[in-house]
A and B are shown apart, each in its own frame.
Chain A
Amino acid sequence: MYRIDLAGTRHRFPDLKSLLAAATPLRSGDELAGIAAESAEARVAARHILADLPLKTFLTETVVPYEEDEVTRLIIDSHDQAAFAPVASLTVGEFRDWLLDDRVRARDLTALSPGLTAEMVAAVSKLMRNQDLIAVARKCRVVRRFRSSIGLRGRLAVRLQPNHPTDDPAGIAASILDGLLHGCGDAVIGINPATDNVEGAIALLRLIDDLRLRYAIPTQSCVLTHVTNSLQAIERGAPVDLVFQSVAGTQGANRGFGIDLALLAEAQEAALSLKRGSIGNDVMYFETGQGSALSAGAHHGVDQQTLEVRAQAVARAFRPLLVNSVVGFIGPEYLYDGRQIIRAGLEDHCTGKLLGLPMGVDVCYTNHAEADQNDMDNLLTLLGVAGVSFVMGVPGADDIMLNYQSTSFHDALYVRDVLGVRPAPEFEAWLESMCMLDTRGRVAPREIATLPLARAIADQRFTTP
């Protein structure tokens, strides 16, 4: 039981998870779960209590029982006591101040990361304003490599997302070409398949791999299919660069995705065995999203943001090349409007970086959410300032397969230009070699007919296998 008297009113919270839930900035998913703070004052009261809570509390008190949940066991069993030492004596509130301290630099945060549990990071983020989430994330440095480098300072990569409602090869190739011509694709060329089966996945993998080899593009490919499909594709000799999987923050929600930690480990091992990376061998790609555990009926009364950080703790166990939140995709019953989506996007990015993940964000919304392109411009710009490792590039921001709006190739050009950040260095050199950069290193708007790449791809024949 946690209690506090504030301005003559006594506030009580029965346990740690209800305290964390009450301290969370308002969002529709916690209201739907019936665990949001009862009033604005109760929310601040919970934050007061949380601020005085020793960080060590999270090593002895769990929000989902250790015995029942392998994600809790992963978090507790992999905690690094030595890495935790610099902050071991702090409260959650003092930890926020420590993170914001000028003397705490990137290398300190990198060293600390294995000493932080998901719940510690969730707790401190609930005491942080948006500017804190930006400032702290900006300090973090997480670099991963496969054929390109993700997360270097001053760089912002883009996942080229060329989805098509029937997986038509020519249609997908058209979107890939358009993305490349806008300087996108350095994070990954990643397709969400419309038809989810192994044969389809293999056909798409061959399509991207063929383009990549033919034009020597320093990037990696991924078909975002279920991990068991990727395993089968590997067995059948398909060119699998990255293994994708959606992950959640409880064992039950992961079961809903048809996965457990052992399966992820098996998939990672299979992908590593292919040794397809040129400058590194980080082979996993994960997506997460606030609300997934509640949707699966496996949230244990824990708020969705805390569970999101637990999902990130799952991701961190597999040294991923890429991790992104699909923040606005999940729908208004979890994040109602632009304000909630923006807050959650900044949270997911910051908490992931603190845990040591190469965080990107799918800056996005659905048509039944109270959000529009202006909200996405705001979030994209804020994340750019926060040093986001990658964002999505979707033709015209309109994903015609998944039926939602993400960021466009143009948005990527915008944020790179206004913030002076550049593509991954290997990819930038390739753009240069393809005559696509102007004298100031920006992707030049020019007659695409004059570009050798456009000519070559347009002349290629794509047929359905």
Chain B
Amino acid sequence: MSQPPADDPLARLRAATQARIGLGRAGHAMPTRACLDFDLGHARARDAVWTPLDVDGVTAQASDWPVIAVRSQAPDRATYLRRPDLGRELAAADGLPAGPFDLSIIIGDGLSARAAQAHGAALALDLRQRLPGWSLAPLVLAHQARVALGDAIAASMGARFALMLIGERPGLSAADSLGAYLTIDPRPGRMDSERNCVSNIRPPHGLSIAQAGEKLAWLLTEGRRIGATGIALKDAAPTRDRPHVHHQSHAADPARPASGQAVAGGDGDGGPFPP
């Protein structure tokens, strides 16, 4: 027997949170409807993790921007999930032009190809408009990618900056959240503290494309001026964007940024650990 609350004193408080409160009870369990709602969220998140990146779809969105697809050394999804180290290494640099370029933008599947597909190309195009005079490398689409893969890709093209737009780890209510990670003078072995991150790019619920584009254009322009990304650039950010450097409470869960903040470092995949 399910017992939805009738005269509900929680109604006002409930409006203040997306948490699953006031679900009612079937005996001691959740009512059927609440179980199914939960299952739907989990199914969407699972699909986001396991659906491959649609190269043709993103290429079409990129309009006149040349697109090159590459892969990490993780041959498949199951290996990718177990071996984050392989997801940071490029399988082959064939087909990437020699450069040099000011900026290489990489769209990586990360843990949600859905996020990369939904917002990656739109954000790249928005940024291109905001960066007149910058020489941009061809757009790179990366399969089985972790954040640091962007450094290897940009380095092989002689790009001054790597910007990895990557699907964050899906939550139950948000399976299409994109993270953007910026590194100056990219090369394999760069540390998380040498990057800046803008997370939770997810219109219409999270950061909009324009908001993210504005933050990233600021980080790029200022990063070029001071010749640095990471902690030094974070400290130069406008106060409203300046992150709180998190010491996340859960074990081994450092530096998980709050929504939309430009932060130094970051965990790379929306996952708990640095890649």
Residues of chain A at the chain B interface (Cβ within 8 Å): 28, 31-32, 162-166, 168, 170-175, 177-178, 192-197, 224-226, 229, 244, 246-248, 256-258, 287-289, 291-292, 295-296, 311, 326, 329-333, 336, 366-368, 372-373, 395-398, 400, 402-405, 408, 410, 413-414, 417, 445-449, 454-455, 457-459, 462
Contact = CB atoms under 8 A, between A and B. Distances in A.
A330 B272 contact: yes
Interface stretch (B9-17, B59-67, B94-102, B226-234): B9-17
B55 interface: no
29 contacts: A165-B258, A165-B259, A171-B19, A174-B14, A175-B21, A177-B10, A195-B244, A224-B250, A247-B251, A257-B254, A292-B251, A295-B273, A329-B253, A333-B273, A366-B272, A367-B45, A367-B169, A367-B170, A367-B175, A368-B49, A368-B170, A396-B30, A396-B38, A398-B173, A402-B253, A414-B29, A447-B6, A449-B9, A457-B13
A417 B28 contact: yes
B130 interface: no
Given A248-B251, A329-B251, A403-B270, 15 more contacts: A165-B258, A165-B259, A174-B10, A174-B21, A194-B258, A196-B246, A197-B244, A225-B247, A330-B252, A395-B20, A398-B172, A400-B171, A403-B171, A449-B7, A459-B9
B41 A248 contact: no
Interface in B55-88: 81-85
Nearest to A365: B42
Interface in B256-274: 256, 258-259, 270-274
B173 A291 contact: no
Interface string B3-40: 10111111011101111111101011110001000100
Given A289-B252, A295-B274, A326-B250, A174 B13 contact: yes
| B contact face: mostly helix, strand, loop, or mixed | loop
A171 B17 contact: yes
Contacts of A168: 16-17
Nearest to A404: B171
B18 A400 contact: yes
Contacts of A164: 17, 19
B46 interface: yes
B9 A458 contact: yes
Given A174-B14, A396-B30, A333 B249 contact: no
Nearest to A31: B82
Contact of A28 (B19, B34, B82): B82
B111 A372 contact: no
A413 B248 CA distance: 29
A76 B249 CA distance: 28
Nearest to A200: B244
Given A287-B250, A445-B3, A445-B25, A336 B82 contact: yes
B249 A403 contact: no
Interface in B116-141: none
A408 B272 CA distance: 21
B30 A410 contact: yes
Contacts of B252: 246, 248, 289, 291-292, 295-296, 330
B99 to A, nearest CB: 31
A224 B248 CA distance: 8
